[in-house]
Amino acid sequence: MAPLSPSPAHTAAAALRHARKLLFARLHEQTSLTDAEFCAGFETVVAAIEADLAHEEKVMEALAFDGLHTRLAENALLLASLHCIVTQVETGNAALGRAVLAASFDLLSLHRLTTDLALVLARPAPAPARVKRIAGGAPKRRKKAPGL
């Protein structure tokens, strides 16, 4: 019997989860910095979020993800919001940066969950054929009923 291999959607979901996990570690690290360090490194965190979202978008596009257009719009809004405050944070407004980073973390967590669900449910692996044994004979494959 051939080994089972994951579907492209399952593999993509795993890759996206791993990338998002690394990003969350980076965001958590940023929040633990002093205000001065936080402000100085804010732009690099925004760049990391942007790179993560670009990666996610490429994977979703390659899989012909149904909700891609909506996700692109959501990502654009998040990035526009982050870029809008970079200068304020870099000049010392750590409270604003921390608040926006916390909201970004929540949004990215929600994205991760919805992406996983959508990718896994969008392209389920085909069900194996059911086998019925006939008395005194070899196994016979059942035909699937319409809609199953």
Do the Cβ atoms of 14 and 113 come closer than 8 Å?
Answer: no
pLDDT, residue 20, reads: 87
Distance of alpha carbon 76 from alpha carbon 6, whole angstroms:
31
pLDDT, residue 11, reads: 78
Query: Tens of pLDDT along the chain (148 residues)?
Result: 455 556 776 777 778 888 889 999 999 999 999 999 999 999 999 999 999 999 888 888 887 777 788 889 999 999 999 999 999 999 999 999 999 999 998 888 888 777 777 666 665 445 555 555 555 555 555 555 555 5
pLDDT, residue 125, reads: 47
| Alpha helix (H) residue ranges in 1-148 | 8-31, 35-62, 68-90, 94-122
Do the Cβ atoms of 1 and 119 come closer than 8 Å?
Answer: no
